[in-house]
Amino acid sequence: MTIDTTAMNSTRRIEGIFRDISAGAVVALVSAAYSLSYAALIFSGPLSGGIAAGITVSLIGAAVGAIAVAVLGSIPVAISGPDTASMAIFSGVSAAIASNAMIAGDADTAIFQVLATMTVTALLTGGALLVFGALHLGAWIRFIPYPVVGGFLAASGWLLCVGAINMMSGDRIDFMAFDQLIGADYWPRLGAGLVFAAVMFIATVRVKSALMVPGLLVLGSLVVHLVLLATGTGIDEAQAGQWLLLPLEKPDLWLPTAMFEPGAVDYALILAESAGIATVVVVTTMAILLNATGLEVSFATDANLDRELRANGVANIVATVAGGLPSSLGVNRSLLNAQAGATGRTAGVASGIFCLGFLFFGGDLVGYVPRPVLGGTLLFLGVSVLVSWLWKTRKRLAMPDYLLILAILVVIVNEGFLAGVVLGVVAACLIFAISYSRVRVIKNDLTRAEYASHVDRPQSEGHALCDHGSQIRILALQGYLFFGTSNRVFEAVRNAIEHPGKEPILVEILDFRLVSGLDSSAVYSFVKLRQLAERHGMFILLTGLSTRIREALRLEGLLQSDDDRLLEFPDLDHGLEWAENVVLAEDRTLMAEAACPFSEWLGRTLGQERLAESLMRYFERLELAPGARLCEEGAEADTIYFVESGRISILLERPDGPPIRLRSMIGHTIVGEVGFYQRAVRTASVAADEAAVVHSLSRSAFERMEADEPALAAACHAMIARVIADRLAFSNAEILALQR
């Protein structure tokens, strides 16, 4: 039996397109309801004459957002449109604009001014999103403190609730004017809206389905019309009594080109509300990022945050030209789209087209939409936001963070967005400074007894450095240094110097390898450290400095060529080697030890001095010039080398650059023993840094010694085992110290 896979795939594609179109229709219904709600929210009270323009710009914003994000976004079934939080904030901006515009003109002037402000806001939002996306700042914007975001979103929830009440009443209610509240004709509408909001809240809490909201919108509208029918109230009478919206006879298109006419726009009024407009931009950006992250989890996919920013930026730029409200990625509509059967980008495009169809061909239907349903929907959204940020977060957040959310909310409600933005910025800076100052800027606090340079020294020198290791202290720093963290470094150094252990600190090493930068205030801490070193006759070494940090220190007069107290080294290894040499130079007994003959050292290391002469009969003496290679990486490891004098280094070869120094070794030590015992090839090369004398013990000579003088061979094995054990023990101590 032959299966026509081409026909099957074609059928599946057609079915997918039909599912996307049907899902787009469902989403368009909810988007249209939200758009009507936002229009009624913004164009209420003295702006109610602009409701037709409000519906038009809302639906255009929903259509453009849905299509642009569907085509350009990284999540195929994502839906964008005017967002609850940003619309709540913009409603506050529009109310302030209208109030000031009404002083100098009539309602039409105020409506025009609000539409112009909307265009400016959409343009700034789109431009900011495009810049953020182009600069790949999607992840960085998340660093805005959570309580600051929560404060703005909680304020948006409050504004939604207030706007919903004003929209249902038909005017802006002054709850302090009790004489006006008594006997007002809007109480039945408010009561109906409150009941509908309560039903929505309870139903959505108990039934977790994205289809619940559109179902309740349809059901609520039917109930209102049944009540109107039962009371004998006609459509015209209900519209006049503000129970229903007025019909949209034709789209009242807003053309931004009207703003270019001389004197048409009072930009001083827009500038006065710059804080609110900036808040819309910030909240929209944060909403996109938070919602994209939430959709990642819901759809088990990876969202490209920068791409989402760019897609929504394009949507807002197009909305600016087309005369639409700002839009952003929405979670609820995206989840509804998926639950309605959407599988691809066609659903978002279809949703946008249906919104435009409703705008141009469904104007008469607007006259049948109940105000209490729209107001109740806004009230439900506002209460949901307040519950999320004021109730659910009270147990998740620390008390200071929760109080900051309340403070920003109270300030915005009483003093406006400018004061809220100032408080948010100041709070963000303080939270960052306090939180970052608690970060452990000192990654490791070590002494030379715990951590050594990559120089293998004679056993006597190694023991001396362990015994006097507390004279060398190493602080490995990390992160960004500013006034708070740099002062902690200064205090740590000063306390160690002024309250030393068994021996005073001779050298303090500060390693900057993991330091990303420092500000000007942090530099003064190092000026004080230089003065501290001078008073106590000690040395401070700075290692691993970046070019920027080095220049910042030099601008304050540090790291001068004639400074013998504050010194710089390219990395920790070179700085620590210099410090070890300083400590060893203080120990006169080691000078005599270093001058002892090689045979004497070999005899003591073997445990019996008489064995040294016997062992040296199996050696081959090599004299190396500076730079000469003792062995090459990849060669057979068939020889152990005993260093009599000079200095050699173990090098890791690189095909595209000079070799990397892994370790250096100074006279009276052993090299090459591990590969010899493993019968492996050399994993690195060995070269002389200076003129050196080395004795080689080949495998054939070792085997001959084992056959002829087994006691001597056993002593040699034991000596090498002790050297390996000493190195391993110190390496383990280093690992433990680094894990503290």
* DSSP string for 315-368: HHHHHHHHT----EEEHHHHHHHHHTT--STHHHHHHHHHHHHHHHH-HHHHTT
Strand partners, 567: 541
Task: Answer with the residue of higher pLDDT: 617 or 330.
Answer: 617
Q: Could you say which DSSP state residue 635 is in?
A: S
Q: How many CB atoms lie within 10 A of CB 159?
A: 24
**pLDDT of the residue at 394:** 83
Q: Residue 250: pLDDT above 90? A: no
**pLDDT of the residue at 437:** 66
% of the chain beyond a pLDDT of 70:
92
Q: Residue 326: pLDDT above 90? A: yes
**Measured distance CA(284)–CA(290) in Å, rounded:** 10
Find tokens 């970046």 and name the residue: 546
Q: pLDDT tier at 3 (50, 70, 90 boundaries)?
A: very low
Mean pLDDT of 121-135: 94
pLDDT in tens, 575-592: 999 999 998 887 655 545
Alpha helix positions (H), 73-106? 84-104
Greatest mean pLDDT among 149-158, 207-216, 555-564, 681-690: 681-690
101 contacts 113 by C-beta, under 8 angstroms:
yes
Q: pLDDT tier at 569 (50, 70, 90 boundaries)?
A: very high
| Helix (H) or strand (E) segment spanning residue 540 | strand 539-543
**pLDDT of the residue at 1:** 45
Greatest mean pLDDT among 5-9, 58-62, 723-727: 58-62
Q: Which domains are present in the chain?
A: 14-255+269-433 (no CATH), 442-592 (3.30.750.24), 596-738 (2.60.120.10)
Q: Which of 351-360, 462-471, 731-740 has the lowest mean pLDDT?
A: 731-740
Task: Answer with the residue of higher pLDDT: 569 or 596.
Answer: 569
Q: Residue 8: pLDDT above 70? A: no
Q: The pTM is what?
A: 0.61
Greatest mean pLDDT among 107-111, 410-414, 707-711: 707-711
**pLDDT of the residue at 468:** 87
Greatest mean pLDDT among 65-69, 80-84, 95-99, 298-302: 65-69
Q: How many CB atoms lie within 10 A of CB 172?
A: 16
**pLDDT of the residue at 210:** 61
% of the chain beyond a pLDDT of 90:
29
**pLDDT of the residue at 67:** 95
121 contacts 323 by C-beta, under 8 angstroms:
no
Mean pLDDT over the full length of the chain: 85
Mean pLDDT of 685-691: 92
Mean pLDDT of 435-454: 82
Q: How many CB atoms lie within 10 A of CB 28?
A: 28
Contacts of 141 (CB under 8 A, 6+ apart): 132, 285, 286, 289
Per-residue buried b or exposed e for 191-217, using 16+ beta carbons within 10 Å of the residue's own CB:
ebbbebbebbbebbeeeeebebbbebb
Q: Residue 503: pLDDT above 90? A: no
**pLDDT of the residue at 61:** 94
Contacts of 432 (CB under 8 A, 6+ apart): 145
**pLDDT of the residue at 465:** 85
